Chain A
Amino acid sequence: MSDEVERIREEFLAESQEIIESLSRDLLLLDHGQKEGKPDPDLVNSVFRGVHTLKGIAGMFGHVALSELAHELEDLLDQLRLGKIPLSQEALDVMFEGVEVLQRLLGAARRNADPASEVDLATFRRSLQMLMGLQSQHPRLDALGGYDLDPGVLTVLTEYEEHRLRSNVEQSVPLYRLRVRFSLSSIDSDLEELKQRVKPWAEIITYLPSMEGGSDDAIDLEVLMASRTPVAELRDAIGGPDVTIEPVTRRDPGRTVPPPAPTTREGESRDEAAAMKEPGAAVVRPPSVVPAKDVNLGADALAVRTVAKTVRVDIEKLDHLMNLVGELGIVKSAVGRIVERLRQRADMRPLASELHRIHRAFERQLAGMQEGILDVRMVPLGQTFDRLGRAVRQVAREHGKDVRLVVTGAETEIDKLIVEELTDPLLHIIRNAVDHGIERAEARLAIGKPETGTLALNAYQKGSHVVIEIEDDGAGIDPARILSHAISRGLLSAESGQDMSAEELRQLIFLPGFSTAAEVTDLSGRGVGMDVVKTNIGRLGGVIDVHSQVGIGTKFTLTLPITLAILSALVLRVRGQTFAIPLNVVQEALFLDETAVRLVEDHEVITLRGQSLPIVRLASLFRISGEPTGARSFVVVTALGNRRLGLVVDALEGQQDIITKPLGKSLHNVRGFSGATDLGDQRVVLVLDAPSILEEVLASGDRRGVAA
């Protein structure tokens, strides 16, 4: 029973989180639109709906504070969407703050904490009240610019539609009347399709079934819309055989408008509006007329259907499935070995080839299954980016900076588990970029940069990795200041600093102890806990790089594996020990020609197709004693980003699917391994952490051996 309660609670938390995330996404879009001078009224509606739903479910689950706050926000949104309060920057600020507060309240609910201890509701309520006080009084619906609109139509407009109509008329946006005939059987989808078609060109104010025309199986709709697009272009864009578009004329006594007949949609939306209002609030219901047909118009029905197609799945359940598939992979390998043994025996050949066929089929199905499960675990980065967008806005506001966020590749998909671990490091980098990277407007203008700073968030897939770039056009990281800072902190001697390139110096920000929060605000560079960021990214099997030019900007590049789950790995041996290395970092493997090894400043290097390849002997890196098992050694060429390193090993055992399992906490300080895996034949082997090995050997070659 309590399990059931817990499950429902989880469901509530997950759904609320989703709503809050989409609220924040809509607000960002709205914010963007407002800055461009054309906020999309649909977004206000969408935020309104989200807050309304949140209010409902929070109330249902007894989260009073959450529900009450949602209710207050809903009031504000209602005023906003009816144009009673202008959609100003202040209003947006309050909305953003509201979402932040909702998020904190949800956090409290998640931890079963007392919301009062987490959130200062009083302060937020004050700013909310202040904004509500701005309410302006509109004149009643009268001077509509002399448009030839039937008074009957006007009386059935909802308050919102009326506001939108007035708002358009006030801005002198021409009005159009669109007539369309829909078959009753497909009106839902046809109407939705029409809306999508109209949206880029015009705003739909209302639509009513027309009394003229129509038949038993078809209905004529009349759509009132506003658009600045010339009528000819409108006709080109949305016209069609069944669609006519006419401008609404001004004071044309000859023209008659069909008598209005509200559709169920209007009736519904009014019901909805009534339901949303506090009981007792006066809602004037216009005279309702029997609708032409009982048709369910509108996007809500469609939305419900879309939602029903997705299921929320606990990642642990997926992990369990993934584990099972992994075990099957081990079974598959075992069967493969039996096939090999059978093949050795002449009398077993027919049986062997039959089993071989079955084995191949099994292999294919298993691969398909693996892929399917992996696919389910993948989520687009967009959700994370939305959250980051909110943070950018907040930090920019805190620091009085003007920052524009540009996002590309939000659709790039990555393992859900990685996404979850990624938010904090990204947040950290972004905060730093806004706080320390991007200059204040005056400073920017003074050096000829655009007043508004730009923060770009780019994501794209590259092979089996996802690359995320965080780029700002700020002040850049000054290597000279890093140098003096590192020396003053005793991380570097003045002499060794002399020889370091600017890029090498910038890498110092990732050193533990490079910076502390107290001191960095003064420093134009970054470094607040960048070592932690780096460790976290490393734990996910990723690498982080920084490039920067003083005065021009800084770019952090994160390269991450797409998934942490089942990996194809190369099994290799070093002296008596067996290791596995994920194939996605392996470029190739070749024999090592000892005579071709050169020494370049104490580093061993070979030439591979005309390019130098640094190599490292794993036996010595890991200090594994003993003699090599074979006469020849192999070089496993690993690559990450632009960096390459050859790992010298004694033998290659072949390829195998593995599930990397974490090492215990007591081994977290041991570098070079990302986990361990069960090879299925009673062997537990360590999985090499290629990023950390590359890092260790390439970045701090001169300190090799000291670090371990």
Chain B
Amino acid sequence: MSNGPLVKQQGSMMPANLRGPRTDRIRSASTAENITEFLVFTLGTARMGLPLESVQEILKLVAITEVPRASHEVLGILSVRGRITTVLDLRRRLGQPSVEPTRHTRILLVAGSDETLGLVVDTVLHVVRLREDEIEASSVVAADLPEHVLGLGRPRRRDAVRGVVGASETKGDSGEAEVIVLLDPDPLLRR
């Protein structure tokens, strides 16, 4: 089962807008059988992934309008094609100190069940396709993980990674596959 044919999906490769202007969209790319695609990004030293189908768009950092009295995690609002969208600093959301934006800073438009929010991340890396046996469920990893952690991903195959953008790929010295903290968008966006 796990070696079933990979369905080639249009648009499941890296979207053009990772390099270019903010207007293109990532096509929702559900996968064949039990393969899930995650968009991998960095936050500080950690690698994190969000299910690709939940990421609607990747925007370059643009001017964000501050919202007085909003909670600490809220950077502000911006208008995405006429729709007012709230932007969260993912670092603050996860209890890390925020940092100055760089030219790699991106806003991921992520769909939760309530609304679509913008999440500011340090660098967007690539899309990884994980088989079921490459994902460790959070319940297996540790009991006390926050509910927005879906599990840990350990891609084992070279061809799991699709496309490389922005910062250079830094693999562990041992040559062992990177560990990716897989996030569950719903509890992450619900506050």
Q: Which residue of B lies closest to A326 (CB)?
A: B82
| A686 to B77 Cα, complex, angstroms | 9
Task: Tell me the residues in window 582-625 of chain A with beta carbons closer than 8 Å to chain B beta carbons.
Answer: 622-624
Judging by beta carbons under 8 Å apart, are B74 and A663 in contact? no
For the complex, is B65 an interface residue (Cβ under 8 Å from A)? yes
Task: Tell me the residues in window 62-87 of chain B with beta carbons closer than 8 Å to chain A beta carbons.
Answer: 63, 65-70, 74, 77-79, 82-86
Enumerate chain B residues within 8 angstroms of A671, measured Cβ to Cβ: 69
Q: Separation in Å of the A323 CB from the closest CB of chain B? A: 7
Judging by beta carbons under 8 Å apart, are B84 and A670 in contact? no
Q: Separation in Å of the B146 CB from the closest CB of chain A? A: 18
Enumerate chain B residues within 8 angstroms of A666, measured Cβ to Cβ: 74, 86, 88, 114-115, 117, 189, 191
| A683 to B66 Cα, complex, angstroms | 11
User: Which one of A303-311, A416-424, A672-680 contacts B?
Assistant: A672-680
Q: Separation in Å of the B69 CB from the closest CB of chain A? A: 5
Judging by beta carbons under 8 Å apart, are B84 and A662 in contact? yes
Number of A residues, CB within 8 Å of B = 25
Q: Size class of B's contact patch?
A: 20 to 34
Enumerate chain A residues within 8 angstroms of B88, measured Cβ to Cβ: 666
| A2 to B189 Cα, complex, angstroms | 34
Judging by beta carbons under 8 Å apart, are A676 and B84 in contact? yes
For the complex, is A577 an interface residue (Cβ under 8 Å from B)? yes
Task: Tell me the residues in window 675-698 of chain A with beta carbons closer than 8 Å to chain B beta carbons.
Answer: 675-676, 678, 682-686
Q: Separation in Å of the B111 CB from the closest CB of chain A? A: 12
Judging by beta carbons under 8 Å apart, are A622 and B117 in contact? no
**A664-B86, A665-B115, A675-B84 in contact; A577/B74 too (CB < 8 A)?**
no
**A661-B84, A666-B117, A684-B77 in contact; A676/B70 too (CB < 8 A)?**
no
For the complex, is A361 an interface residue (Cβ under 8 Å from B)? no
| A665 to B67 Cα, complex, angstroms | 14
Judging by beta carbons under 8 Å apart, are A682 and B70 in contact? no
Interface residues as binary, A326-363 with B (CB distance below 8 Å gives 1, 0 otherwise) = 00000000000000000000000000000000000000
Judging by beta carbons under 8 Å apart, are B117 and A678 in contact? no
Enumerate chain B residues within 8 angstroms of A708, measured Cβ to Cβ: 69
Enumerate chain A residues within 8 angstroms of B191, measured Cβ to Cβ: 666
For the complex, is A284 an interface residue (Cβ under 8 Å from B)? no
Interface residues as binary, B138-149 with A (CB distance below 8 Å gives 1, 0 otherwise) = 000000000000
**A666-B74, A676-B77 in contact; A684/B84 too (CB < 8 A)?**
yes
Enumerate chain A residues within 8 angstroms of B77, measured Cβ to Cβ: 663-664, 667, 676, 684, 686
Enumerate chain B residues within 8 angstroms of A676, measured Cβ to Cβ: 65, 77, 79, 84
Judging by beta carbons under 8 Å apart, are A685 and B189 in contact? no
Q: Separation in Å of the B108 CB from the closest CB of chain A? A: 15
**A665-B114, A666-B191, A684-B77 in contact; A577/B86 too (CB < 8 A)?**
no
Can you sample 26 A-B contacts with CB below 8 Å?
A323-B82, A577-B65, A577-B68, A623-B69, A661-B82, A661-B83, A661-B84, A663-B86, A664-B77, A664-B85, A664-B86, A665-B114, A666-B117, A667-B67, A667-B74, A670-B70, A672-B68, A675-B84, A676-B65, A676-B77, A682-B63, A684-B77, A684-B78, A684-B79, A685-B65, A686-B68
Chain B residues within 8 Å of A, Cβ to Cβ: 63, 65-70, 74, 77-79, 82-86, 88, 114-117, 189, 191
Chain A residues within 8 Å of B, Cβ to Cβ: 323, 577, 622-624, 661-667, 670-673, 675-676, 678, 682-686, 708
- Nearest first, the 5 closest Cβ-Cβ pairs linking A and B are A622-B68, A664-B86, A684-B65, A664-B115, A676-B84
